Amino acid sequence: RDRRASAVRELILGCDRAVPRSTACGPRAAAIRTRELLARASNERGNRRYNTTRETLLQVLQIDRTNREARMRLATLAHEAGADEEARHHVEVLLRDHPGDREAQALLREIDARRASPAAALRVGAPVER
């Protein structure tokens, strides 16, 4: 089963390389790449690699600008690192693409609450990668 899944993956990605932007395999190849990048971002984040995780999530958004999961993860990552302007930007884009998203609305309220707090000025920036 794993070999079949791997063979199908290679077939789709090979088709996409041979005929870029093909309607037959382009969307499937994009979905495969997106899924793989999101998995890699989870692993990188688990290893506390902020910059690498951020870049991987941005790669997902290059493939699919409206990808809700990547946009939300990027906003959350930025907010946790204290980069609230970047976090706010990603939440606003997410809400433009996915109006009414409750999780994004809650994160926006959290960002605004931090901004209003005097202790927010004392927060240290993004962690350094090892």
Long-range CB pairs of 6-9 (<8 Å, 24+ gap) are none
Residue 46 pLDDT > 80, yes or no? no
Predicted pLDDT at 79: 94
Predicted pLDDT at 125: 54
Residue 128 pLDDT > 70, yes or no? no
Alpha helices, H only, 47-101: 50-63, 68-80, 84-97
pTM of the model: 0.75
Q: List, for residues 54-104, the tens digit of each pLDDT value.
A: 999 999 999 999 999 999 999 999 999 989 999 999 999 999 999 999 999
Could you tell me the two tokens for 70? 């990547």
Predicted pLDDT at 45: 80
Q: List, for residues 25-35, the tens digit of each pLDDT value.
A: 888 888 888 99
Predicted pLDDT at 9: 81
